[in-house]
Structure 1
């Protein structure tokens, strides 16, 4: 991130409601104990997830790609009474860390963790979703979108992370991963079932609302 953009990001974070102490602890432990802490939802993006969850008021939400649980906790903090977030993580080595912080946040009754591949688990979830966060393997974005779109209620929101891919989607020559992200963005733009807004927050967040 360029210095000016980094300064703007930090200024925005400093003038936003701060994350809870539990999220601060999770941030520190993620940086200490994982090889790719940059995969974690950042504080500003986490607050966006929390706000959207509060606005949408989902009774049933879905997250694809839990990592260490930062985003899941943010979404769950915004759920209405009785709301539940189903979150899917394929890396079983992260389970202890995820459950540790879900428990610390007092959200055991609001977050249900599913361990395994999203393409195996989603077809087994017999729910209608009001809010979906897609943040799993970038090569699988199109697959995950196709798996969830028919399970999303009219008016429901789908959020997709990392859709700018460090800005490489704007380059004329694209590597394989960048091309897949670009093709996914093009797919959303052309989907008549939805309206969409791509925001340049962190590495890009696509907000999609089903008609």
Structure 2
């Protein structure tokens, strides 16, 4: 969902670094062949993730929610030499597609895909991360946050997608479902958590960006 007028949204998109041909192809293939293509980060958000990664120059990134691999490839663009991105998704049906595009992007040695339940996998990761991108089941956003915050170095970033949830987080008549209620609580938690510095960006469906102090 876009919250800006269509002409402003299009203007912003046209004045943002272009995605590469492979990412364009992956975007098209996702929209043509995969259910719920709006889950894809897409051009504008993907370039923002790439920019943040380049600024951070991370050695270790954790992504919770791979989908078709678009965001993982964008985030990997900023990895420092020898860096690694771990991406977790429970949907094994997309595994072959994701691995194909990871290999074609030249990131086969940089991106490790793990298929399974992130709530079970994350506690077993013995890593310190520079960046974490959360874009999975909304009902577990607070659980994911509490799991990963101790695993992030001071100065590291947590980025969470869909935190505006099509505007439902601001409408008391539309926030009765579990996902919306959790996102309202998640946004409130980060706003009040003095362990992080946070800003909610109204990009696409809302990106929460938090820096661990």
Identify the TM-score tier after normalising by the shorter chain.
Answer: over 0.9
- Residue 179 of structure 1: how far off its partner (Å): 1.6
Shift of 1:190: 1.1
Q: Distance in 1 between matches of 2:98 and 2:12?
A: 27
Q: Distance in 1 between matches of 2:36 and 2:3?
A: 22
Which of the numbers 178, 186, 189 marks the counterpart of 1:187? Answer: 189
The alignment covers a number of residue pairs equal to 211
Corresponding residue number in structure 1 for 2:80: 80
Q: CA deviation at 1:172?
A: 2.4
Encode CA deviations 1:111-136: one digit per residue, 9 max, x unaligned: 01011011111111100000000000
User: What is the CA distance between 1:7 and its match in structure 2?
Assistant: 2.1
1:195 Cα deviation from its structure 2 partner: 0.7
Q: Is residue 116 from structure 1 mapped to residue 116 from structure 2 by the alignment?
A: yes
Contact 2:2–2:205, Cα closer than 8 Å, also in 1: no
* Counterpart residue number, 2:18: 18
RMSD of the alignment, in Å?
A: 1.2
Query: What does residue 204 of structure 2 align with?
Result: 202
2:41: which partner in 1? 41
Shift in Å, 1:78:
1.4
Partner of 1:140: 140
Q: Which residue of 1 aligns with 2:96?
A: 96
Could you tell me the TM-score, scaled by structure 2's length?
0.96
2: distance between equivalents of 1:26 and 1:2? 21
8 A Cα contact 2:3 2:202, kept in partner = no
Match of 1:175 in 2: 176
**Which residue in 2 is equivalent to 1:51?**
51
Q: Which residues of structure 2 form unaligned runs of 5+?
A: none
Contact 2:2 2:9 in 1 (8 A): no
How far apart, CA to CA, are the structure 2 residues paired with 1:131 and 1:30?
Answer: 25
Q: Is the 8 A contact 2:3 2:204 kept in 1?
A: no
What TM-score do the two structures reach when normalised by structure 1?
0.97
- Which segments of 5 or more consecutive residues in structure 1 lack a partner in the other structure? none
In structure 2, distance between residues paired with 1:126 and 1:119: 14
